[in-house]
Amino acid sequence: MEVALYQPEHGYYERDRSVVGQRGDFYTSVSVGPLFGQMLGFQFAGWIEEIGGRQPATCNLQIVEAGAHDGQLAEDILNWLQRHRPDLAACIEYWILDPSVRRQEWQRERLSMFAPRVRWFASWAEIQQAGGVRGVIFANELLDVFPVHRVAWSAADQRWFEWGVRTVGERFIWTRLPALHLNVAALMQPGAALSNLDEGLRASAWASLAPLLPDGFILEIAPFAELWWELAAQSLRQGKLLTFDYGHATGDVINPSKPHGTLRAYRDHHQVDDILAAPGTQDITAHVNFAVVQHAGERAGLATVELTEQARFLTRIAQRTMQQPAAFGEWHGERVRQFQTLSHPDHLGRSFSVLVQERV
Ligand SMILES: C[S@@+](CC[C@H](N)C(=O)[O-])C[C@H]1O[C@@H](n2cnc3c(N)ncnc32)[C@H](O)[C@@H]1O
């Protein structure tokens, strides 16, 4: 997954910036139109004022986006701030965290008009060296594209094993690994250092529930997403950390309705059966385990504000914008249409969740 998505020359997210959106392989809330960014701009401005108070204190605050891809969401947020909150736009900094040189180039191109106020970072270590973050750190559809371990239950052996990938001629195929990867094996140990599953769940999942599972039952374990979130949380000195994504909360990590797990591939707006086919030309993604991510933030000292449906989160913002029409701009027909797509349960409203944590 790491190589197929991020290898600097052939990786799916390195080759072509137009993979997201109508002409690409899948939609995100960003490709629905600028409303998502406008609403985030409105919400972030409110949070920034709560954190920093009035100028000049707000001038030492940052909005940090990770997974910015081609910079579209950053542009939507910065455009809204410039137009409706020029006082904040002229004062705060917009930071982008992206380890890819190529994607940083796409972002620099798109955001050139905001240049003096935008800074790029390649790692949390760099952000921590810059003093950490006071403000808002956020990502949209990032955690679902971090590599996962694919673990399956063997009824015959009464144990978990891990699926790996190997080549046969020109093709890639799944292969049963002789041993669990250390990241995964660590989870099975009582008192393990990795807390990928909470204690109760770990006990029930690995010990009592597993023998009841059908042979071959698959689940994913995502230590990279967990570690990434913990680093993000550690980098937040004061403010909010949030992510939008699809996934599951505690309890349905072992989900009887998903015996094959949630790892999947997309191309041309369709799910592709063969996840291993044509690496570099299709997206590969898995559900986010929000319970694990939430615990990672809490370990770093953050308090959880909420884990809720995207529809509910955006509806609350919409209500506030309607109470302050002069501050947000008019709700014309196009905005209403975009809002319906972002919030309707049949579109992005229910399948997407928002996790918000904070350090006060
Ligand atoms: C599914 S796309 C979402 C793009 C955009 N946020 C949106 O909602 O349209 C995920 C993006 O995250 C980027 N990404 C992957 N790993 C990353 C990391 N460690 N740090 C920052 N961005 C990363 C991918 O290359 C890709 O551009």
Of 234-243, 245-254, 313-322, minimum mean pLDDT range: 245-254
Q: Where residue 253 falls among pLDDT bands split at 50, 70, 90?
A: low
Nearest-atom index, ligand 1, CA of 70: 27
The CATH code of domain 2-144+226-254+285-359 reads 3.40.50.12710
Domain map (residue ranges) of the chain = 2-144+226-254+285-359, 149-221
Instruction: Compute, in angstroms, the gap from residue 66 CA to the centroid of ligand 1.
Output: 7
Question: In 10 A of CB 87, how many CB atoms?
Answer: 14
Tokens of 245: 């994504």
Nearest CA to ligand 1 atom 14: 67
Q: Is a pLDDT exceeding 80 seen at residue 249?
A: no
What is residue 197's predicted lDDT score, i.e. its pLDDT? Answer: 45
Nearest-atom index, ligand 1, CA of 26: 1
Of 1-15, 101-115, 188-202, 302-316, minimum mean pLDDT range: 188-202
Q: Where residue 11 falls among pLDDT bands split at 50, 70, 90?
A: very high
| 149 phi and psi angles, rounded to 5 deg | -95, 140
98 lines ligand 1 (CB under 6 A): yes
310 near 342, Cβ under 8 Å?
A: yes
140 lines ligand 1 (CB under 6 A): yes
Q: Is a pLDDT exceeding 60 seen at residue 86?
A: yes
Q: Residue 177: left (phi > 0), alpha (psi -120 to 50), or beta?
A: beta
Give the containing element (helix H, strand E) for 219. Answer: strand 218-221
Report the alpha-carbon distance of residue 311 to residue 347 in Å, rounded: 10
69 near 141, Cβ under 8 Å?
A: no
Q: Is a pLDDT exceeding 70 seen at residue 274?
A: yes
78 lines ligand 1 (CB under 6 A): no
pTM here is 0.94
**What's the number of CA atoms in the CB half-sphere (13 Å) around residue 323?**
7
Give the tens place of pLDDT for each residue, 58-85: 788 999 999 999 999 999 999 999 999 9
DSSP letters, 82-141, are HHH-HHHHTTSEEEEE---HHHHHHHHHHTGGGGGGEEEESSHHHHHHTT-EEEEEEEES
What is residue 198's predicted lDDT score, i.e. its pLDDT? Answer: 43
96 near 107, Cβ under 8 Å?
A: yes
Q: Which residue stretches of the chain are H helix?
A: 2-6, 12-15, 35-52, 72-84, 86-89, 101-110, 124-129, 182-188, 199-202, 223-235, 290-299, 310-323, 325-328, 333-343
Q: Is a pLDDT exceeding 70 seen at residue 91?
A: yes
Pocket test for ligand 1, best of 142, 146, 226, 246 (most atoms within 8 A of CB): 142
What is residue 309's predicted lDDT score, i.e. its pLDDT? Answer: 94
Pocket test for ligand 1, best of 26, 69, 342 (most atoms within 8 A of CB): 69
311 lines ligand 1 (CB under 6 A): no
Q: What 8-state DSSP symbol labels residue 26?
A: B
Nearest-atom index, ligand 1, CA of 144: 1
What is residue 196's predicted lDDT score, i.e. its pLDDT? Answer: 44
Nearest CA to ligand 1 atom 27: 69
Q: Is a pLDDT exceeding 70 seen at residue 191?
A: no
CA nearest neighbour of 213 among 262, 155, 261? 155
Instruction: Compute, in angstroms, the gap from residue 106 CA to the centroid of ligand 1.
Output: 13
240 near 133, Cβ under 8 Å?
A: no
pLDDT > 70 in the chain, percent: 92
Using CB atoms within 10 A of its CB, is residue 183 exposed (0-12), middle (13-18) or buried (19+)?
Answer: middle
What is residue 201's predicted lDDT score, i.e. its pLDDT? Answer: 42
145 lines ligand 1 (CB under 6 A): yes
What is residue 195's predicted lDDT score, i.e. its pLDDT? Answer: 44
Give the tens place of pLDDT for each residue, 200-235: 345 445 556 778 889 999 989 899 999 999 999 999
What is residue 209's predicted lDDT score, i.e. its pLDDT? Answer: 74
Residue with token string 């990867």:
181
144 near 246, Cβ under 8 Å?
A: yes
Instruction: Compute, in angstroms, the gap from residue 65 CA to the centroid of ligand 1.
Output: 10
75 near 37, Cβ under 8 Å?
A: yes
72 near 82, Cβ under 8 Å?
A: no
